[in-house]
Amino acid sequence: MSKGSFLSASIGRKFLMSITGLFLVMFLLVHMSINLLLIFDDSGDLYNIACHFMATNPLIKIVEPILALGFIIHIMWSLIITFQNMKARPVSYNKSQQAINSTWASRNMLILGAMLFVYMGIHLFNFWWKMKFSGDPLLTEVEVEQAGVMVMMENGYALVSELFKNSVLYDIIYIIGGGLLGLHISHGFWSAFQTIGLNNQIWRKRLYVLAQIIGLIFALGFAVIPLYFMIKF
């Protein structure tokens, strides 16, 4: 099968979705780990050091556009697969039978994806856009000790923490977003390994449980951050 015919085939599109999805899960794991530094150090130094590293490391600068491309491909392919599946099934399935044979997340991946897209847009506008392009008074550089040396770096902690402290609405949006992300990943992770061939009865059950655990970790990992600021401040 040629490269073009492979990608045009259903299995090829699902394979590409799976690979980009797993790649993005690894990115989100790193992102979540850095964000969790917000609740372990109220001085903000740990979070600022991590952000400074991500902003100045040459390898990260190379990986960033690749990640952006991965997100775009993942979103585009999900839309293509969904609409082609809808076109191939002009008569809708019996809803009760569909509910028995699949999870809510698997039946509503497009809806979950669309909601996550809105959530990500809000997140990127409030943090990433300001850190990378528009700037913000809260980002005024501070002096932080790093490996025994005082280094000037943007105060990303102030930007992020102030929004969590002062906006209950954003806290709620962030908590809901974490839950949606957990649901999306729990199904996507399991489905990805099915697509690449790990779909025998033994591995299917194990990967399903693992997917639920990973989804829960992401949901709690992102939700605990706004909850921390809501309760403590």
pLDDT tens string 85-127: 667 665 554 544 444 445 666 666 667 777 888 888 898 899 9
| Cβ–Cβ under 8 Å, residues 197 and 163 | no
The predicted pLDDT at position 120 comes to 86
The predicted pLDDT at position 96 comes to 47
Query: Which tokens go with 135?
Result: 């700037």
Q: How many CA atoms within 13 Å lie on the side-chain side of 18?
A: 17
Q: CB within 8 A of 35, min separation 6: which ones?
A: 47, 160, 221, 222, 225
Dist CA 204 CA 199 (whole Å): 5
Helix locations, the chain, DSSP H: 3-8, 10-35, 45-56, 58-88, 95-101, 104-107, 109-123, 129, 156-166, 168-195, 201-232
Dist CA 109 CA 185 (whole Å): 10
Query: Which tokens go with 49?
Result: 């050091």
The predicted pLDDT at position 85 comes to 67
The predicted pLDDT at position 200 comes to 66
From first CA to last CA, the distance across the chain in angstroms is: 59
Q: Look at the block and give the residue holding tokens 């569909």.
A: 98
The predicted pLDDT at position 154 comes to 96
Which residue positions in the chain have pLDDT lower than 50?
A: 93, 95-101
- pTM of structure: 0.83
Domain assignment of residue 175, given as a range: 3-232
Instruction: Write the CATH number for 86.
Output: 1.20.1300
The predicted pLDDT at position 100 comes to 45
The tally of domains found in the chain comes to: 1
pLDDT tens string 203-216: 778 888 888 999 99
Dist CA 8 CA 227 (whole Å): 44
Dist CA 126 CA 120 (whole Å): 10
